[in-house]
Structure 1
Amino acid sequence: MMLDLLRWHGAEEVEHKAVAFDTMKHLRAGTGARCAPSCW
């Protein structure tokens, strides 16, 4: 059961990352703007 939860959570995180990246790409944000949140 715990492994299923971890797999589900991992899939959700990948999906959220993809949505955020696609949004920034749509807004034509530069590389710096896309990478800045990773620096925090």
Structure 2
Amino acid sequence: MSEQNASATWRTPEVCLILMAAAAPFSFSIWMALLNNFTVEVA
């Protein structure tokens, strides 16, 4: 049981919120780079 509790300590709402807060700008910047490449190529 202690092994399961130790491995689940990082599975908290705070860690999820931090990961999502870091992933949102990262994915948005990737999306903007792809969109800018597409618009430069098409225009």
TM-score band by shorter chain is 0.5 to 0.7
TM, length-normalised to structure 2: 0.56
TM, length-normalised to structure 1: 0.59
Q: Identity over the aligned pairs, expressed in percent?
A: 10
Q: What stretches of structure 2 of length at least 5 have no aligned partner?
A: 1-14
Superposition RMSD in Å: 1.4
Q: What stretches of structure 1 of length at least 5 have no aligned partner?
A: 30-40
Between 1 and 2, higher relative CO (CA 8 Å, sep ≥ 6) is seen in: 1
Give the total of aligned pairs: 29
Q: Which has the larger radius of gyration?
A: 2
Which aligned runs of 4 or more in structure 1 are off by greater than 6 angstroms? none
